[in-house]
Structure formats: C-alpha cells, structure tokens
Amino acid sequence: MNFFKVGKYFTLVDMPGYGYRAPQDFADMVEAYLQERQNLKRTFLLVDSLVGFQKADHIAIEMLEEFGIPYVFVLTKMDKAPKGLLDKNVLEIQDFAEKHTRGAFLNSSQSEYSGIHLLRCFIAHVTGNLPMMNS
C-alpha cells in the first residue's frame, strides 16, 4: 500500500496491483486495514471501463459490503473504450450497482475531464474539505 498525504487535510491510500496482477492473498492483506480504520471516509473502487467487473472487483465489493464500508465505483479509461463496449460495460456496472450494492457510481468523463473534476470535488466533500452550500 502506498500512502499519500494530501496537504494537512487527508491521506490517500493506493493499493497498486489490485485486480491486475494482484497477489493471491490480496484480500487477506487489506482485510485488517479496512476493518481497523475507524477514520476511513470512503473507498474508491476503480473499474476499468474497457473490461468491466473482474473477479477481484467482486471480491472487493463483497468485502466492502460485509464490513459496511462506504464505497464508490469509479470507471477509468472511458476515453479509450469503443462506444459500444463502453455503453455495454457502463450499463452492466450501473445495473449491478443498483441491484446488488450500496455503492455509489462515478465515472471519469471522456469530455473535458469533467469526471476528474467531479471526483476531486467528491473527495473534498467526503473528507470534510468542501462543505455543501444551500443556494
């Protein structure tokens, strides 16, 4: 796991290798971390929009649901997927999320990086660094 301190506000933890070339004992390695982090605000499950859900994604979802950890699906590589494949995978993931999980659904946008901006704002909000304003 790699820890990145974001200013004085929060720490972002990256779990490289998740999914792609993940070690056999990946679930065992992160289980204790996820269960013991009382200050864990949100988990972001990055899903490759070129391939959709993989076995490792289902394992992670099951673990997050079991532990009651709030999480969000974030679709990556949306600008690289052919439109038909992208539509198929997005609809499949969205359908799965609505029927089987408590997870929210965000995506990295293929237009003007608006998805990245939305994700940054969401992270700032859930970490308490961007309060909601009444308009």
Hey, what long-range contacts does 77-83 have (CB within 8 A, 24 or more apart)? Answer: 77/48, 77/49, 77/50, 77/108, 78/49, 78/107, 78/108, 78/109, 78/110, 78/115, 79/108, 79/110, 80/49, 80/50, 81/49, 81/50
pLDDT of residue 6: 82
pLDDT of residue 12: 83
The 10s digit of each residue's pLDDT in 46-80 is 888 888 888 878 888 888 888 888 888 888 888 78
State the DSSP code for 60. Answer: H
pTM, two decimals, is: 0.75
Domains and CATH numbers, the chain: 2-127 (3.40.50.300)
pLDDT of residue 21: 65
Residues in the chain where the model's pLDDT stays below 50: 110
pLDDT of residue 7: 77
